[in-house]
Chain A
Amino acid sequence: MAETREKLLEVENLQVTFGTKRHPFTAVDGVSFDIYRGETFGLVGESGSGKTTIGRAIIRVNPVSGGTVKYKGEVISGKVSRETDRRIIQNIQMIFQDPMASLNERAKVDYIVSEGLYALGEKLSEEARKEKVAKALSDVGLLPEFASRFPHEFSGGQRQRIGIARALIMEPEFIIADEPISALDVSIRAQVLNLMSRLQKERGLTYLFIAHDLSVVRFISDRIGVIYKGKLMELAGSEQLFAHPLHPYTQALLSAIPMPDPESEREKKLVVYDPTRHGYTENDPPLWEELEDGHFVRGSRRELEGYRKLLGQ
């Protein structure tokens, strides 16, 4: 089913290394996945797993030390021409986690929202720019008058809308949302999630949704990648993943989801993931294989055999 759709983003064997040459730290190691046009791809993992680093590597904030990122078939990692760079800036935008920290406190909303336009250096008349800002603000459900205010005058939910308007004004095709709702209140979360899905429907946006909360990711994503210590553990359609979690780390994550239901919480059995249980050796290295349609798992030959049996049942 998936093969017929257009691949918007292809991440191949991505590696990101921090630190010095002598003390390197590999934050992302050999990660590969594709994102199709119009879908929401969820990336889940605990803090320090490298999920944010992947997002930042795609948008070229963090340099890539190995592998490639392709956008519409064109390589966008490493050195690229100035023209490509401009196109990426326009086409790929990011929504950040904490709307309290990600907006310039000393700038008016008008400037914050149009900063991307300034950066592109497009020759826009002042009127055309103002009109664009007003449009972007009303698209996210804010009043155009808000343009003359400062960020501190807004609530958390409104500020996150400003963050979204700032991304939308560039008319991007692909948005990387890095934990866009984890800093928000429960009742505001629903508003922002609804806004994101409405915009996706209206504009055919593609999302990379990075989060640690699987219940939210399940609600919004079509496919989910589970990442642990810089490596992908499992990748599947979201219902597939919830129905047949194969990798023990995925099972641990699923078992820990807090459910707003006292009865199921009481029956909850926590699965604790022990990374040493695999016993990978040089002769028996972990492989990355597709076990059913679109369902990839990492495991040794023996483990994969077990997973296949599980799926067969």
Chain B
Amino acid sequence: MPNENAILSFEDLEIEFTLRGQVLRAIRSVCLDVYRGESLAIVGESGSGKSVFTKSAMGLLDANGAITGGHIWYEGKDLARYTTEKEWRAIRGKEIAMVMQDPMTSLNPLQTIGDQIAEAVRLHQDLKGGAAKAAAVEALAAVGIDEPERRYKQFPHEFSGGMRQRVVIAIAVACRPKVLICDEPTTALDVTIQAQILDLIKILQKKLDLTTIYITHDLGVVANVADRIAVMYAGDIVEVGKCEEVFYDPRHPYTWALLSSLPQLGVKGQALYSIQGTPPNLFHEVHGDAFAPRNPQALNIDFVERPPLFEVTPTHKARTWLLDPRAPKVEPPEHIRQLRQKGGYLHG
């Protein structure tokens, strides 16, 4: 059974997709607890399975995908056993809501902003007519949109990108969900707007007592918002820990590589560190540590046996044989060691 402090708990989750008769193992036996009130960031490249992983908790997998093993515990219920739309409707939007990546495509262009928010309110809060409208206007005001009464009647095309993302957030929180999943919430936005949206989500999190899960590949965003970080690679969580632990004392070679390749860490005139090769093809079975073929310092055992999650501290775990007491000492790259002292990063 799940940890008591966890609001959402993934246990040995397996997700498979069938594509033209072939089976793709998108999520390979993943365990993760999401604690009540925290803000957790799931980091990974595209194709690492981070979106699929969180979508499974909302019953939003594509038709050719299915949970083939494990559990998703939420308030004592196992969401992995849910099959019908009716069951999911009690969770989706009401308990767990989502902010999608691109506000240009996630709103209906033919419906007014107000109607789209009111729709969510009507469905989940049993409010009708004037009451639903009032709740929608209130939601618009809560996400920092001026003149909500006038804006209520406008269409998405009358809003800028940042404002649209505020509307998407308003729809997501209008029904007072307990968990908010933000899937690359700022990737489509400008830097200045990005910072404002992140601030907004943080404020709402405090005000509404939300648990937030961010899915992103932008480590700058992660450093800003996350209490804890889970690093995902090839359908598996390879490292999980508090924000400081993962940034200042990363243990998995993939986390090292990811941090090393950031231009913010680069020295001008020198080549940036870049990860060789490509992520593994998940149509084939992965042996051992999935990152081993791209890791120049991989150990022999990395190619044979999947490493267990070793504990670094009670809050920090990593799935790498380097943490085994029998493993040879492999030092992280020079600049990763420097991160432990502040000043390793360029400060704007």
Residues on A lying within 8 angstroms of B by beta carbon are 46-47, 155-156, 185-191, 193-194, 197-198, 212-216, 218-220, 242, 252-265, 268, 270, 272-273
30 A-B pairs, CB-CB below 8 angstroms? Answer: A46-B192, A185-B45, A185-B217, A186-B218, A186-B262, A187-B261, A187-B275, A188-B45, A190-B263, A190-B273, A191-B275, A197-B271, A212-B190, A212-B191, A219-B263, A219-B268, A219-B272, A257-B191, A258-B218, A258-B220, A259-B223, A259-B345, A259-B347, A259-B348, A260-B222, A261-B223, A262-B248, A263-B244, A265-B223, A273-B192
Q: Which residue of B lies closest to A184 (CB)?
A: B46
A262 and B244: CB pair below 8 A? yes
List B contacts of A252 (CB < 8 A). Answer: 192
Instruction: Decide if A186 touches B191 in the complex (CB within 8 Å).
Output: no
Could you tell me if B263 and A261 are in contact, using CB atoms closer than 8 angstroms? Answer: no
| A213 surroundings in chain B (CB, below 8 A) | 191
Give A265 to B263 CA distance when docked, in angstroms. 17
Minimum CB–CB distance for A310 against chain B, Å: 17
Complex Cα spacing A270 to B348, Å: 12
Chain A residues, Cβ within 8 Å of B271: 194, 197-198
**Most A CB within 10 A of own CB, among B161, B218, B226, B263:** B263
By a CB distance below 8 angstroms, the chain B residues around A193 are 263, 272
The interface bits of chain B over 214-246 (1 if a CB of A lies within 8 angstroms of the residue's CB, else 0) are 000111111110100000000000000001100
Q: Of A155, A186, A256, which is within 8 A of B219 by CB?
A: A186
Asked if B46 and A258 sit within 8 Å, CB to CB, the answer is no
Measured CA separation A268–B347 after assembly (Å): 11
Complex alpha-carbon distance, A262 and B347, angstroms: 12
On chain A, the residues within 8 Å of B217 by CB distance are: 185-186
- A260: chain B residues within 8 A (beta carbon): 219-220, 222-223, 247, 259, 262, 264-265, 345
Q: Give the distance in Å from the alpha carbon of A46 to the alpha carbon of B188 in the complex.
A: 11
Chain B residues with CB under 8 Å of chain A are 45-46, 161, 190-196, 199, 217-224, 226, 243-244, 247-248, 257-259, 261-266, 268, 271-275, 278, 339, 342, 344-348
A81 CB to nearest B CB, Å? 40
Which residue of A is nearest B277, CB measured?
A187
Q: In the complex, are the beta carbons of A256 and B223 less than 8 A apart? A: no
Q: Is the CB of B220 within 8 A of A186?
A: no
Distance (whole angstroms) from the CB of B190 to the closest CB of chain A: 4
Q: A197-B271, A242-B348, A264-B345 are in contact. Are A257 and B263 (CB under 8 A)?
A: no
Q: Which A residues are in CB contact (< 8 Å) with B273?
A: 190
Expressed in whole angstroms, the minimum distance between the Cβ of A231 and any Cβ of chain B is 17
CB distance from B163 to the nearest CB of A (A): 13
Closest residue of chain B to A181, judged by CB? B263
Complex contacts, B257 vs chain A, CB 8 Å: 187
User: Within the complex, which residue of B196, B220, B243, B266 is in contact with A259, where a contact is CB–CB below 8 Å?
Assistant: B220
The answer to whether B191 touches A256, judged by C-beta atoms less than 8 angstroms apart, is yes
| Smallest CB-CB A-B distances: 6 pairs | A258-B220, A190-B274, A190-B261, A46-B190, A260-B219, A219-B263
Residues of A within 8 A of B243 (CB): 262
Task: Name the distance in Å between A192's Cβ and chain B's nearest Cβ.
Answer: 9
Alpha-carbon gap, A198 to B342, bound state (A): 31
In the complex, besides A191-B275, A215-B348, 19 extra interface pairs with C-beta distance below 8 angstroms are A46-B190, A46-B192, A187-B45, A190-B261, A193-B272, A214-B191, A215-B220, A218-B346, A253-B192, A256-B195, A257-B348, A258-B191, A258-B221, A261-B344, A262-B223, A262-B248, A263-B342, A268-B224, A272-B192
- Least CB separation from B339: chain A residue: A261
Provide the residues of chain B in CB contact with A212, threshold 8 Å.
Answer: 190-191
